[in-house]
A and B are shown apart, each in its own frame.
Chain A
Amino acid sequence: MQDSLKPDGITPSQTVGPFFKYGLTPSGEYAWNDAFTNSTLTPDVTGDRVRIEGRVFDGDGVAVPDCMLEIWQADAQGRFADPQDKRALPNASFRGFARCGTDKDGHYSFDTIKPGVVPDPDGKPQAPHILLAVFGRGMLRHLYARIYFSDEAGNAADPVLELVPADRRATLIAVREAGKSVYRLDLHLQGDNETVFFDV
């Protein structure tokens, strides 16, 4: 079907609602191959393997059991699995995308690699970061955040973190657990510790 009509505008967003599980995060409960899991890892991937975990809370500090999180990131060399990124991809099957739902206590987790440095539009290095999209019942449009890593010196000069008031930056920085390759980041949709969300 061919169509070249210029539309009036974009299709508005609506909430995923509470019942997205079978459509988006089936985890073997539906008769098809899962398109996504909460892992970006592939057998040939190089880089530091890390686990990111945390919980999602609402404005009353109550765990949110019906959130869906998506991450998008570069590989360890800072390259994206996207034809728009013209640089060669060393990790041929690394896709850089993962998705998970929160459980009844609001827990989420991702297994991935620590991404490399990606330049900003001025060519300035950004500290290693992962893009995060947060969907959920009660959320009419998904929210965009970033996940940074507590053991990265580059955070101090990161051009995006610099846009964030200093007292709120910690809401985007996953904290490494001593002696482990596990980073923790809780998300607060609202309230005193509200996670920083970006207008992109």
Chain B
Amino acid sequence: MTFIYPTDSNKAHPLPLSPEYKSSIKRAPNKPLIPMRHTLSELTGPVYGHETVREGDNDLTTRHKGEPLGERIIVHGHVRDEDGRGVPNSLVEIWQANACGRYVHVRDQHPAPLDPNFTGAGRTQSDASGYYRFVTIKPGAYPWGNHHNAWRPAHIHLSVFGHSFVTRLVTQMYFPGDPLFAFDPIFNSVPDEKARMRMVSSFDLENTKPEWALCYRFDVVLRGKDATPMENH
């Protein structure tokens, strides 16, 4: 009896040290991670009731007095595990820059306007089949100091939990066809191209709302549970 969530899946993740992403150089561990068997501590994980997430927390365009500036979009998709099972009732939290590429954060001094009608944070729970949905504004690209003329591709940060503490995931959803992909060390920190492209949403015309909002689909795939039962549990 060894691993319950196969660790092979972790190969899709970036390496901790990705020198092109300069902030990783002093923050990635130098020593190898120590492998260990999953215990009940790793195999369980936080579960959320509906008491904190309220209806409307998934619409980032209606949190303030007026409408935010920019291009209204719908972002939706399926949270499932790598075996194709939907992950129900999972907390999905998002945060992002506004349409001009500026975050509501004291350390973001990018000279682009703040939008009084956009904070850029939302959350929801996936439904009984693992489906989630947000209404928001398409974030802008923004410059950062990593290298000469460095601009982040437009992205939305997502935080998802799944069924255990080892399925915890924070990722970024990108938009199809972004010309900045080739130059972004965070996006390219994922060595496998197929895995990298799983972070790119797809334009969804079928669910685009006429006269109202474009739609993007982004499925989030978490680690799958090995069928092997755990002993002595």
Contact = CB atoms under 8 A, between A and B. Distances in A.
Contact of A121 (B93, B95, B221, B231): B231
Contacts of A58: 26-27
Given A7-B84, A11-B199, A119-B232, A32 B95 contact: no
A194 B30 contact: yes
Interface stretch (B35-43, B67-75, B175-183, B208-216): B35-43
Contact of A60 (B26, B44, B52, B93): B26
Interface string A114-144: 0000111111001001010101111111111
> Which of B76, B84, B104, B170 has the most A CB atoms < 10 Å from its CB?
B170
Contacts of A143: 16, 29, 33
Interface string A180-200: 000000000111001111111
Given A13-B13, A23-B94, A80 B24 contact: no
B221 A11 contact: yes
Report the interface size class on chain B: 35 or more
Given A4-B84, A22-B105, A24-B95, A16 B157 contact: yes
Q: How big is chain A's contact interface, by range?
A: 35 or more
Interface string A57-92: 011101010100010111000001111110000000
Contacts of A17: 157
B207 to A, nearest CB: 9
Contacts, number: 271
A109 to B, nearest CB: 19
Contact of B219 (A3, A15, A66, A118): A3
Interface in B38-71: 38-48, 52-54, 57, 63
Given A9-B9, A12-B195, A119-B39, 6 more contacts: A10-B223, A72-B45, A139-B28, A140-B21, A190-B26, A199-B36
Interface of A: 1-24, 26, 30-35, 58-60, 62, 64, 66, 70, 72-74, 80-85, 95-97, 118-123, 126, 129, 131, 133, 135-144, 160, 163-164, 189-191, 194-200
Interface of B: 1, 5, 7, 9-10, 12-16, 18, 21, 23-48, 52-54, 57, 63, 76, 78, 80, 82-84, 86, 91, 93-97, 103-105, 107-108, 119-123, 129, 131, 157, 159, 163-166, 168-172, 186-187, 189-190, 194-196, 198-199, 219-223, 230-233
